[in-house]
């Protein structure tokens, strides 16, 4: 785990994974361990759980410092642009489409 940050309804993690690891296993571990810790320590007045899906992209080594700064500035960033607006911007920029008509479904690059 290199960097963690987020804003209200989402979190960003910059992670380097080994060749034997999978993105879905790493996501499962992060979600499971963090949910357990949040609930064990009663950090919120209700049972915490993550949504089922996640989004992952690879990052070139030459962009790591830029991604770290992006993660650090989430509060400032989302003061200007909502999470939904950010997702739409990424989708337009990279030509991604939703897998279904429901906006909460995963997207993919055609």
Q: Where are the domains of the chain?
A: 3-108
Could you identify the residue written with the tokens 């949504």? Answer: 51
Greater model confidence, 99 or 103: 99
Confidence (pLDDT) at 103 = 54
Percent of the chain with pLDDT over 70: 88
Tens of pLDDT, residue by residue over 2-44, are 999 887 778 899 999 999 999 999 999 999 999 999 999 999 9
Tell me how far apart the alpha carbons of residues 77 and 28 are, in angstroms, rounded to a whole number: 27
Q: What is the pLDDT of residue 105?
A: 53
d(CA 47, CA 54) in angstroms, rounded, equals 20
Supply the pLDDT for residue 45. Answer: 94
In contact, 99 and 107? CB cutoff 8 Å: yes
DSSP H or E stretch at residue 71: helix 64-72
């Amino acid at each position: 785990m290199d960097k963690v940050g987020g804003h209200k309804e989402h979190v960003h993690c910059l992670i380097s994974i080994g060749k034997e690891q999978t993105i879905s296993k790493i996501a499962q571990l992060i979600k499971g361990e963090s949910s357990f810790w949040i609930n064990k320590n009663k950090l919120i007045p209700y049972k915490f759980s993550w949504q089922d899906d996640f989004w992952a992209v690879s990052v070139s080594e030459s962009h790591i410092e830029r991604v770290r700064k992006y993660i650090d500035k989430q509060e400032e960033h989302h003061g200007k642009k909502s999470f939904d607006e950010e997702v739409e911007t990424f989708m337009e920029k990279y030509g991604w489409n939703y897998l279904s008509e429901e906006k909460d479904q995963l997207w993919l690059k055609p």
